[in-house]
Amino acid sequence: MGGYSAPVQNGLVPVADQQSVVLVLGSFPSEQSLQAGQYYANPRNQFWKLMEALFEVPSDASYDRRVASLLGWRIGLWDVIARCRRKGSADAAIRDIVPNALPEFLRRHPSISYLAFNGARAEATAVAHAPEVLRLEGVRHKRLPSSSPAHAVPLARKLESWRTLSVWLMESE
C-alpha cells in the first residue's frame, strides 16, 4: 500500500456496558497498549492519572479494577480506528485507516450521550471516517487534550478540560 511496509494492526475491543453514558475515544492504541491488551498501558500516558484525579480510580490498581471502576462511573473506552498500519506508536505514523463501527456501536448502546475525543487525531479521524456520529441526535462530543506523553501539556491544564466528563455525568443523572 504505497510502499508503507508496516503490518496491519488491530485495535482493542471496546470497554462499555449498557449503563455507559460517556465514551472516551482515542485514535488507536500504542504499541505498549496493544501488547498488554489494555487501554493506556504506557505508564507515561496520563489517562489513568486523569481518571484518578477526577473519579478516584487508583492509577496503580490492576487494569481490571481500573476498568471496573470506570464502568461504575458509566464511562466507556474505545478508539476511532479499528485497524491500520503504523510503525511505532505515533499517531502521525498511522496509515490505511479502517474505522470502528461507531454509529452501530452507539445504536447498540443508546445510553451513551457523550463522546470525549482523547486528542485532535481521534477527533479528526472521526470527522474524516465517521462524520455521521458527530451529527447523531442526542449525542454531544468534545475534543479534549490528548493524554499522550507526546502532548506536552501539564497534567493540571489537561485536567481542567477533562473535568467535562464530570459535568456530563452530572447532567445525565
C-alpha 160: how far from its chain's center? 18
Check if the beta carbon of residue 71 is closer than 8 Å to that of residue 64: no
Q: Report helix, strand or coil for 98.
A: strand
Which residue numbers are catalytic?
45
The closest alpha carbon to 82, from 67, 101, 105, belongs to: 101
Q: Tell me: the pLDDT tens digits for 27-77?
A: 999 999 999 999 999 999 999 999 999 999 999 999 999 999 999 999 999
Domains annotated on the chain, with CATH: 10-171 (3.40.470.10)
DSSP state of 23: E
Q: Which residues pair with 22 in a beta bridge?
A: 75, 114
- pLDDT category of residue 89 using cuts at 50, 70 and 90: confident
